[in-house]
Structure 1
Amino acid sequence: MATTVSTHSFQHRRLLGFGLATLAAIGFSGKAIFVKLAYGEAVDAVTLLALRMLFSAPFFLIVALRHAWRKPTQALSRRDYAALLLLGLLGYYLSSLFDFIGLQYISAGLERLILFLYPTLVVVLSALLLHKPFGRKEIVALLLSYVGIGVVFSEQVTLQAEHLWLGAGFVFASTLTYAAYLIGTGETVARIGASRFTAYAMLVACAATLIQFLLTHPPQALLVSARVYQLSLWMAIVSTVLPVFMLSAAIRIIGSSHASLIGALGPVATLFLANVFLGEQLSTLQMAGAALVLAGVLSLSRK
């Protein structure tokens, strides 16, 4: 009887983990939708990013303070502070900035597919910088992924989207900086913990974003329409704070490999959300390209 109860409890816990990972993937995917909707209100990328960080910061500050006040917390070394500063700037500030700029020029669906290439870039950078093995499996994954992007991109070129290459370049730069960030996080996260690291790194990004805003914009630039405030708040909660902590909880329950596989729902979710809320075309060619990208990335995660 006890074994049956234990088995049911384990199954319910795993179901909770998969549910949290799914919600996190959909939440992250919604960011591009919120950004594109906000751009319809005549707001620039830096201001929109500053609003997102302003609304997100209190949540991460609470988590950071909770860790700081906890008695057994391991003290941070100078090396830890340096890593948090560098990785926060790289993964949450630069990557977000490039992504927001790129979304001014390309569709939400194409943006999410380019961002989803980050595992392939992690493999390439690891091979170049860390001399990790790079074999046939990795080559096949790269070919599938980038052929898929080429298929979607070719359709966008046919539609003659203005500044397509510029937007795609910025989003690819976002993907590259995020891949570099992921390579550098392993040791630091192991030392100080995932939620603590995320909270501190996000606060670094928040500070950098607000400094950039103050250096490039007058303070009154934050006086935008009520619609932009609403979208920024929703983006902060639904597509930043909640997904971060839901994914962290999911990883604790089902492991990082399963959580990352469920993350493959992200590009598909973005395509459908963009079709519903932005009226972006959802063509057969676009779905075929998305399938190739997903196949390439998922093949890297296959044991």
Structure 2
Amino acid sequence: MTGQAAGRAAAIGLVFALIGAVGFSFKAILVKLAYRHGVDAETLLALRMAFSLPFFLVMGVVAARHAALPLSGRDWGAMAALGIFGYYLASYLDFLGLAYITAALERLILFLYPTLVIVLSALFLGKPITRRMLLALGLSYLGIGLAVGHDLKVSGELSDVLLGCILVFGSALSYALYLMGNGQVVGRLGSARVTAYASTFACAFSLAQFFVMRPLAALDQPWQVHGLALAMAVFSTVGPVWMVSEAIRRLGAGPVSLTGTLGPVITLFLGWLLLDEAIGVAQMAGTAMVIAGVVVMARQRAG
């Protein structure tokens, strides 16, 4: 590849990474907008997954055609487990939590997942935590404390804010567990197949949950809810997944992961612009501290 072609590929990769970051950050905004029409978390998640399912099925067919090895029963079981923890459970807890806290605080808590991976790796895999990582952990969680204080000041409901934080933290923990198991499976089966099939399992679990917990008539929602769920599927689920994978192919995982640090800032701005969420000094300071802590830990692990 010539220097000019390489530069063009890098530029396209950067654009894809930035659009992917915006797409993922926009999800919380769409959920909060849908909640204004009275839809519950189970129904909204089912609609999002139903709209996403055809895309993931197509991705799975394409990935299977390019796969070198067939899938064993153990492989299918592994991807079902990844689907439960990485997409279904993490998404469900996140949707539940968004009923109680601001979109900005939700994105900030979700952004803690790299810190959870480090802690879990130390607890279960024996990987050491350096002093620098401990300082970064402290900085990140102190930042969360400031952001939680902002939500308490705005809403005044301690029980609601704490419940929302616990639910979204559970979502981040679920995603961290997914990442820890994802690496080994992806190494054998490839990222395209794992993403497509695990996401398909997550869609199936979400739809099954809906039919167990809600009557079919619950799908009769205002057109705005269906439109927001479709936008969530295309612009905040399938689209960002594809764009980030393409960005990694062109730039590598390191540079792309850094663009993810824009997520909390983007959600903070969008929440203010579209949801009338107040922005305070404590919230901005907390956001800066969390981003700084996560970036320090990411560089430490890369080094």
Q: TM-score range by the shorter chain?
A: over 0.9
**TM-score normalised by L of structure 1:** 0.96
Alpha-carbon offset, residue 154 of structure 1: 1.2
State whether residues 112 and 294 of structure 2, in contact with CA within 8 Å, keep that contact through their aligned partners in structure 1.
Answer: yes
* Mapping of residues 62-81 of structure 1, within 5 Å: 62-68=58-64, 70=65, 73-81=68-76
Give secondary structure in 1 for the equivalent of 2:18: helix
Pairing 1:204-223 to 2, within 5 Å after superposition: 204-223=201-220
Q: In structure 2, which of residues 167, 171, 175 is the aligned counterpart of residue 174 of structure 1?
A: 171
Matched ranges for 1:91-110 at <5 A: 91-110=86-105
Q: Could you list the structure 1 runs, at least 4 aligned residues long, displaced by more than 3 angstroms after superposition.
A: none
- Equivalent residue for 1:26, pick from 22, 29, 33: 22
What is the CA deviation profile of residues 149-203 of structure 1, one whole-angstrom value per residue up to 9, with x for unaligned ones?
0111112222244311111110000000000100110010111111111010000
Q: Aligned partners of 1:161, 1:31: CA distance in 2, in Å?
A: 25
Identity over the aligned pairs, expressed in percent? 50
2 CA distance for matches of 1:193 and 1:246? Answer: 17
Give the Å deviation of 1:71: 6.5
Query: Where does residue 277 of structure 1 map in the other structure?
Result: 274
Alignment partner, residue 267 of structure 1: 264
Identify the range of structure 1 (59-68 vs 258-267) with the bigger mean alpha-carbon deviation.
Answer: 59-68
Q: Within 1, Cα distance between the matches of 2:47 and 2:67?
A: 34
Cα distance in 2 for residues equivalent to 1:51 and 1:41: 14
Does residue 144 of the first structure (1) align with residue 113 of the second (2)? no
Q: Deviations over 1:48-76 (max 9, x none)?
A: 000000000000101112233x2654101
Over aligned residues, Cα RMSD in angstroms? 1.1
Work out the CA distance in 2 between the residues paired with 1:119 and 1:71: 31
C-alpha deviation, 1:285, in angstroms:
1.8
Whole-angstrom distance in 1 between the partners of 2:239 and 2:71 = 26
Residues 106 and 161 of structure 1 are in contact (CA less than 8 Å); yes or no, is this contact kept in structure 2?
Answer: no
Match of 2:245?
248
- TM (norm. structure 2) is 0.96
Distance 2:236 2:90 in 1: 15
Cα 1:297/1:75, change in 2 over 3 Å: same
Shift of 1:258: 1.1
Q: Distance in 2 between matches of 1:115 and 1:271?
A: 13
Alignment: residue pair count: 298
In 2 relative to 1, CA 71–10 (structure 1 residues): closer, same or farther, beyond 3 Å?
closer
Q: How does 1:46-195 map to 2 (within 5 A)?
A: 46-68=42-64, 70=65, 73-162=68-157, 163-195=160-192
- The CA distance in 2 between the partners of 1:41 and 1:161, in whole Å, is 23
CA distance in 2, matches of 1:186, 1:211: 27
In structure 2, give the amino acid aligned to 1:108. A
2:100 aligned partner, one-letter code: Y
Unmatched 5+ residue regions in structure 1?
A: none
